[in-house]
């Protein structure tokens, strides 16, 4: 009992961190070398909440059976990547009803002009012209609810999501300005190393599951990973030199960044290691480094997926803990806006 009390005191002293990923597709190398590889350390340094953002996925039509399967796979992959459920709160978004409830309230405190300026809305509308639905327009409000329910200090996001965190901060300022100190102001937490891994066959674009040939998935077989790196775009530079130059050699720069992140080396270390070597040696070396980085993750994910009872226990316990914290925030919000208490 004394040890549990000490653990609670230590957790209470930690800053709160929250993050989530949509289970609409398999995790890829960009996810891992961006945020995911840093998360195990985060759970030591912060009181962390990690969730599978399944509510967000349905702004685009999903196959129900595939979504359920992918959610379980993502949960297993989270754990395989080092997210110990005993050290963090790991849950599925739709299992905590307070997300949707607070999302509606925050819809009423976000301005139409703010939402219409969201870059991701414009991009996704262009890609899904036959399904530009209301959820696609207002999902930054749900994202704000995801964040604010847990009163986090930090939200680790990629540069492409920074705009949504800024909108969340605008909502906090507006809501607190009306009702007092209700929400903590969250800060974006941007990873500097490996934060933006680009497509292997289109290095001007971020690595994405929508471009599978340029995307390395965490559960890819080793031979598929090796093939993708051998075909990776480098450049038309006749010097055939492994040198980091984002402007002139984006393909090579991307491969250097991947190799550096996978091996723990600096860009300068990578350049020295492959000095005098052509791309024919460099690309397979990057592929092999990625294969060895992902091998234990793939094997552990496959093992966990065979233990359905364990995974169900993880997400039920996570939802119970998350709901307890989220309900305290939601009750405070409901009281402030004038709703009668249940």
Q: Are 28 and 158 in contact (CB under 8 A)?
A: no
| Topology (CATH level 3) of domain 212-302 | Tyrosyl-Transfer RNA Synthetase (1.10.240)
Q: First-to-last CA distance in the chain?
A: 34
Indicate the DSSP class of residue 117: T
**Residue-wise pLDDT tens digits, 254-310:** 999 999 989 989 999 999 999 888 899 999 999 999 999 999 999 999 999 999 999
Q: How far apart are CA 262 and CA 260, in angstroms?
A: 6
Q: What is the pTM of this model?
A: 0.84
328 assigned to active site = no
What value does the mean pLDDT of the chain take? Answer: 89
124 assigned to active site = yes
Given a cut of 60, whether residue 8 has pLDDT beyond it is: no
Q: How far apart are CA 26 and CA 335, in angstroms?
A: 40
Residues of the chain with CATH 3.40.50.620: 2-195+307-337
> Among 11-25, 186-200, 208-222, 268-282, where is mean pLDDT lowest?
186-200
Q: What is the pLDDT of residue 121?
A: 74
Q: Are 189 and 42 in contact (CB under 8 A)?
A: no
> Among 92-106, 127-141, 213-227, where is mean pLDDT lowest?
127-141
pLDDT classification of 136: cutoffs 50, 70, 90: confident
| Topology (CATH level 3) of domain 2-195+307-337 | Rossmann fold (3.40.50)
- The residue from 184, 209, 332, 336 that is catalytic is 209
**Residue-wise pLDDT tens digits, 48-79:** 999 999 999 998 889 999 999 999 999 999 99
Q: What is the pLDDT of residue 21?
A: 86
Given a cut of 80, whether residue 162 has pLDDT beyond it is: no
Q: How far apart are CA 84 and CA 65, in angstroms?
A: 27
Q: What is the pLDDT of residue 192?
A: 52
- The residue from 124, 184, 230, 332 that is catalytic is 124
Q: What is the mean pLDDT of residues 13-26?
A: 88
Q: How far apart are CA 48 and CA 196, in angstroms?
A: 22
Residues of the chain with CATH 1.10.240.10: 212-302
Provide the percentage of residues in the chain whose pLDDT is more than 90: 64
The CB density around residue 212, as the number of other CB atoms within 10 Å, is 16
- The residue from 206, 228, 249, 283 that is catalytic is 206
Given a cut of 70, whether residue 95 has pLDDT beyond it is: yes
Q: How far apart are CA 134 and CA 112, in angstroms?
A: 12
Given a cut of 60, whether residue 195 has pLDDT beyond it is: no
């Amino acid at each position: 009992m004394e040890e549990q009390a000490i653990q609670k005191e230590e957790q209470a002293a930690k800053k709160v961190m929250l993050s989530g990923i949509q289970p609409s597709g398999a995790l890829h190398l960009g996810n891992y070398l961006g945020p995911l590889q840093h998360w195990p350390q985060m759970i030591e340094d912060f009181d962390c909440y990690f969730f599978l953002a399944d509510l967000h996925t349905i702004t685009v039509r999903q196959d129900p059976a595939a979504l359920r399967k992918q959610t379980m796979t993502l949960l297993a992959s989270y754990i395989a990547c080092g997210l110990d459920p005993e050290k963090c709160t790991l849950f599925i978004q739709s299992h905590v009803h307070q997300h949707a409830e607070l999302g509606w309230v925050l819809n009423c405190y976000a301005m139409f002009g703010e939402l219409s300026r969201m870059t991701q809305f414009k991009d996704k509308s262009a890609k899904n012209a036959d399904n530009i639905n209301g959820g696609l327009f207002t999902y930054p409000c749900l994202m704000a609810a995801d964040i604010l329910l847990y009163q986090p200090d930090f939200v680790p996001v990629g540069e492409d999501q920074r705009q949504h965190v800024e909108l969340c901060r605008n909502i906090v300022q507006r809501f607190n300005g009306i009702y007092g100190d209700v929400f903590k102001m969250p800060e974006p937490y941007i990873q500097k190393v490996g934060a933006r891994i680009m497509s292997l066959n289109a290095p001007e674009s971020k690595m994405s599951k929508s471009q599978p040939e340029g995307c390395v998935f965490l559960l890819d077989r080793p031979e598929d990973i090796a093939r993708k790196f051998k075909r990776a775009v480098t450049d038309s530079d006749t010097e055939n030199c492994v040198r980091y130059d984002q402007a002139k050699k984006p393909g090579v720069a991307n491969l250097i960044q991947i190799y550096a992140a996978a091996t723990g080396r600096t860009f300068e270390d990578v350049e020295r290691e492959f000095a005098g070597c052509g791309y024919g040696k460099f690309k397979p070396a990057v592929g092999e480094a990625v294969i060895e980085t992902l091998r234990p993750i793939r094997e552990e994910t496959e093992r966990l997926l065979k233990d359905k009872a364990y995974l169900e226990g993880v997400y039920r316990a996570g939802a119970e803990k998350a709901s307890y914290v989220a309900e305290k925030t939601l009750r405070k919000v409901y009281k402030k806006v004038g709703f009668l208490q249940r």
